[in-house]
Amino acid sequence: MHDGKVAQELTYELGQRLKQARLNVDLTQADVATLAGVTRKAVFNAEKGKGPLNAFVAIMIALDLTDKLDLFLPKQAISPIELAKLQGKNRQRASGLKIIENEDKMKW
């Protein structure tokens, strides 16, 4: 599913895509930092695939890329079985009771 990439490689790739988006609109890191309400260092780190998720999202907002979030991670529907169990309540956490039969299914 993920071509053998590990988390570090994937976050670096996302950072590079963020950098290219910034360059495509001809903004400096300082410009994006001002628009996003973060430091220039936060932009630098995000472009290297490091830093907190909230900074990454703030930069996406500044670059007007939030419409791409549904492509990146589509909203997940609740299964009919879980919906019946909830009976009008929102699920807050996993039960931890499900045993993973095939760990390969968890790999990206």
Distance in Å from the first CA to the final CA of the chain: 5
| Helices marked H in 1-108 | 7-24, 29-36, 40-47, 53-62, 69-72, 80-86
What confidence tens digit (pLDDT) does each residue in 23-68 have?
Answer: 999 999 999 999 999 999 999 999 999 999 999 999 999 999 999 8
What confidence tens digit (pLDDT) does each residue in 56-75 have?
Answer: 999 999 999 999 888 888 88
User: Which residues have C-beta within 8 Å of that of residue 15, sequence separation ≥ 6?
Assistant: 46, 47, 48, 49, 50
Task: Give 7-72's CATH code, choosing from 3.40.50.720, 1.10.10.10, 1.10.260.40, 3.30.930.10.
Answer: 1.10.260.40
